[in-house]
Amino acid sequence: MQTIRLKLKEGVMSGVAKIPVIVDSLTPDKLSGKSEAEIKAVKVWWGNREENTGDLFEVSVEGEAGSAEEVKVVMEGDLTRVKYIGAGMKTGEIVANGDVDMHCGALMEGGKITVKGNADCWAGREMRGGELIIEGDAGANLCAMYRGETTGMTGGKVIVHGNAGECAGQYMAGGEILIKGNADILAGLNMKGGKITIEGDAIMPGADMTGGEILIKGKVEDMIPSFKFVETTTIEGEEYRKYTGDLAMTEKRAKGVLYVK
């Protein structure tokens, strides 16, 4: 097991402008097999210039890893403008100690990311596999897609302990999302597959759904008016109203399922 600690230096975020640092080059698979000096020389973008990781982060390496799977990256310091943490990662583990910026776990294929705080928008965007745990709130477009893309998350598992912003799981085609808090408007928008469970409340969930399943344990505000009531059913001892839709997408395509109390 190897632990790579990356602590953002205080000077990076202490100016008038908090210029984002983009760290998709700092995943366990990309850092695996590198010495401390080599990690310090890995390039990261800071605004419109590329810098050495060692110039922006304090870097320390403990232990040895036989493969990338045994690499754990721990990120510390002010991460609120550190974007793309764990983006595209294939294996290993990342722990982010604090609130993180956008695209955390975007295009992730495997491994595990734990955010010990809030994650800004597009966390888990177009995620393909692996596990993403957000201990705080998630911003908008959780597990959704890049602008114009029509497939969001296709695999993996995401747990948000807090609330999720607008359009959670938009264009989701596979995988699972569990939101323990509330979901803002249009969760599961354009959803085509996979499952979203919302333990709290939701507003206008499931619009333009053509597949997949959304289960809402709390209240639903502003139910989409183009869903068809099917039956009352019992899930885990609780009674739910089952709807199919969205009929605004035509009857042929309305294959989404919504469970509402």
Q: Which residues bind another protein (CB under 8 A)?
A: 15-20, 22, 45-49, 81, 102, 121-122, 140-141, 146-148, 150, 167, 185-186, 189, 204, 207-208, 222, 224-229, 246-248, 250-251
State the sign of the Cα–Cα–Cα–Cα dihedral 198, 85, 155, 245. positive
Judge contact between 147 and 138, C-beta under 8 A: no
- Closer of 33 and 225 to another protein (Cβ): 225
Query: Which strand (E) or helix (H) includes residue 46?
Result: strand 43-46
Least CB distance from residue 168 to another protein, whole Å? 13
Least CB distance from residue 131 to another protein, whole Å? 24
- Closer of 113 and 204 to another protein (Cβ): 204
Least CB distance from residue 72 to another protein, whole Å? 28
Distance separating alpha carbons of residues 141 and 58, to the nearest angstrom: 31
User: CB neighbours of 167 closer than 8 A, spacing ≥ 6?
Assistant: 140, 141, 142, 144, 185, 186, 187, 189
Residue showing tokens 């969001």: 152
- Closer of 16 and 237 to another protein (Cβ): 16
- Closer of 96 and 121 to another protein (Cβ): 121
Judge contact between 158 and 179, C-beta under 8 A: no
